[in-house]
Structure 1
Amino acid sequence: MVKSEIAKLLAVLAASYPKFEVDEIKQQVWYEMLQDIPYQIAQVAVKKLILESPYPPAIADIRKQVAEITTPKGEQLDPAEAWGEVEKAIRHYGSYREEEALASMSPAVAKVAKYMGWREICLSEEPGVVRGQFLKMFSQVQEREKKEALLPEKLKNDIAMLANKHDFKLIEGGKK
């Protein structure tokens, strides 16, 4: 998105919310934080937010709406559907065919199953407990991925660069 398109979005918001004021600093900040989003998608997100909320959106609201709009419906699993994928893989592949089982699942489900340990999930004598742990962990992983998806690519790169420079470990998999 270019600055003139940000100005259009801010004008729409100012027209929709009488107390929403636009100045040069606000325009610059919004440009820096939203420039990676295509204008047409941002425009749809702003319209949707105007219809849904009596309060003007923040940059974070727009980024969340964009993520919601652009995420394919097939990738929006709820925790119960995710556990269903695990149960199906257990029935079809058992504990000895871990690679095939993980490959049969959606990436987010496979990630959580791998974190928990495929054999441990399959061989547990307390499936209700394992299910509860899986559901909680799946929700946490989904939330983390949603938050990461909201970050502009430049900011993600800046964070990674700082982590490498200061030898911090990143959350994802404990990798540097």
Structure 2
Amino acid sequence: MMKRETFELLKAINTFYDQFIVNQEKVNMWHEVLKSYEHDIVQERLFSFVKESPYPPKIADLLPKSSGAMTVPNARETRFIMTTRHKLASEEVVQRELANMRAILGIQR
């Protein structure tokens, strides 16, 4: 991304969010982080972001998600994970773990 594109991106954020102030220092710092990203991708993420949030984005909100980063799944992803990837523990394992928790917590049964 070129510095001019970074400025245009920040100007767009200012248009969407009145409380977002653009100054030269902000342009310089944002450009240092964003210069290795494609302008079109970051702008597309901005447009998606403004549809969902009443607050101005942070840089991390506009960057493409890396596949190696750990993220918290949303409700749909959680449902998919719970129904496809995990087997339920056997009753024996459940009881053993409950006994371990009771021992740790000092609960007499």
- TM-score interval, normalised by the smaller of the two chains: 0.5 to 0.7
Distance in 1 between the 2:84 and 2:24 partners? Answer: 46
Q: Who is 2:31 aligned against?
A: 31
Q: Who is 1:53 aligned against?
A: 53
Match 2:85 to one of 83, 86, 89: 83
Question: Structure 1 stretches of 5 or more lacking a match?
Answer: 88-126, 130-176
- Give CA-to-partner distance per residue, 1:13-52, whole Å, 9 cap, x none: 1111111111111111111111222111101101111111
Question: Structure 2 stretches of 5 or more lacking a match?
Answer: 68-72, 91-109
Greater C-alpha radius of gyration: 2
Question: How many percent identity over aligned positions?
Answer: 29
Q: One-letter code of the match for 2:11?
A: A
- Give CA-to-partner distance per residue, 1:28-78, whole Å, 9 cap, x none: 111111122211110110111111111111112212xx228xx6xxxx975
Q: Who is 1:3 aligned against?
A: 3
CA 1:81–1:3 in structure 2 vs 1: closer, same or farther (change >3 Å)?
farther
State the number of aligned residues: 80
Alignment partner of 1:44: what SS? helix
Q: Who is 2:65 aligned against?
A: 67
Alignment partner of 2:57: what SS? coil
CA deviation after TM superposition for structure 1 residue 81, in Å: 6.0
CA RMSD, aligned part only? 2.6
Q: Who is 1:20 aligned against?
A: 20
Give the alignment's TM-score, normalised by structure 2.
0.62
CA deviation after TM superposition for structure 1 residue 83, in Å: 2.1
Q: Who is 1:128 aligned against?
A: 89
Higher relative CO (Cα under 8 Å, sequence separation at least 6) belongs to 2
CA deviation after TM superposition for structure 1 residue 79, in Å: 3.2
Alignment partner of 1:80: what SS? helix
Structure with the higher fraction of residues in helix conformation:
1
Give the alignment's TM-score, normalised by structure 1.
0.40
Distance in 1 between the 2:40 and 2:4 partners? Answer: 13
Indicate whether 1:43 and 2:43 are aligned.
Answer: yes
